[in-house]
Structure 1
Amino acid sequence: MDWLDRAAMAGSAACMVHCLVLPILLAAVPAVSAFIVIPESFHRWALLFAAPIAAIALVGGHARHAASWPLCLGTAGLGLMTIGAFALPEGGVEITVTVTGGILVALAHTANLRLRHSCGSLGDRSRARSA
């Protein structure tokens, strides 16, 4: 399940690069924006791809380490990303809401990954003591 958290973190990073760097690049180089057109539906499709992966990783982590806060943080982040993709018009507010959601999801996956590893380490220690 670690690979799901890592894949989800990579997806969050790619989303942030898309949301922050690409518009700046396109604004700085007007000639490039004539050739690269990213449809508004991209955000919706990216979210529909990322949300199930995030949910599986976060729920799986919760089942292993029983800490609820990464799941809640990830759910809040996915909620913000959903609002940004489906409820807000394209612009500054949409970017802010979407990036904030992406950051929350990335933090949730980082915490999930660390809690999984500490859970595994504690289990290894317990087995070592009983052996």
Structure 2
Amino acid sequence: MQGRINWDALGITASVACAIHCAVLPLFLSSLPLFGINIIHNMVFEAVMVLLAFCIGAYSLYHGYRKHHHNKWPFILFSVGIILLIIKLFFVHYDTWLLIPAVILIVTAHFTNYRKCRIHDHAHADDCDH
């Protein structure tokens, strides 16, 4: 059995984990500052989560684009979602209004990429190097 990573599944998981972190963590872990732990609205932690989502998502989408479908639509959805996440870091008063569409766009981009990879098992284009 070959140990291959499904990058779309990992990207969807990371996006859902980010959504859970942003939605549930403030409700259940609001007592963490009493213990000296502050990851709620911590700018460094939030930036690392956005960077992690970007790295996993960009690699996943690039792999699907390059090896399978050559469709830019997942990149567009993903880019708009990441831009909304970055804007959310600076406008914390609108974090819910920016977070919900960002997560929906990122998960939709991964799902679209996954679906297009399954439809086009392998597609050759002029830029295909294999």
What is the aligned residue count?
117
Per the normalisation by structure 1, the TM-score is 0.76
Q: Letter of the aligned partner of 2:82 in structure 1?
A: L
Indicate conservation of the 8 Å contact 1:81/1:99, yes or no.
Answer: no
Q: Letter of the aligned partner of 1:97 in structure 2?
A: L
- 1:100 maps to what in 2? 101
Match of 1:48 among 31, 48, 51: 51
- 1:59 maps to what in 2? 62
Gaps of 5+ in 1: 123-131
1:32: Cα distance to partner? 5.4
Counterpart secondary structure, 1:67: coil
Per the normalisation by structure 2, the TM-score is 0.77
Aligned counterparts, 1:52-91, within 5 A:
52-63=55-66, 64-85=68-89, 87-88=90-91, 90-91=92-93
Hey, which of these two has a bigger chunk of helix by percent? Answer: 1
RMSD (Å), alpha carbons: 2.4
Query: Aligned residues: percent identity?
Result: 28
Of the two, which has the highest radius of gyration?
Answer: 1
Gaps of 5+ in 2: 124-130
Give CA deviations for 1:39-61 in whole Å, capped at 9, x if unaligned: 23211011112212211111222
Give CA deviations for 1:65-99 in whole Å, capped at 9, x if unaligned: 122211110111111111112x21x34x1232123
1:7: Cα distance to partner? 0.9
Q: 1:51 to 1:115 in 2, by over 3 A?
A: same
1:25 aligns with 2:28: yes
Counterpart secondary structure, 1:34: helix
Q: Letter of the aligned partner of 2:83 in structure 1?
A: G
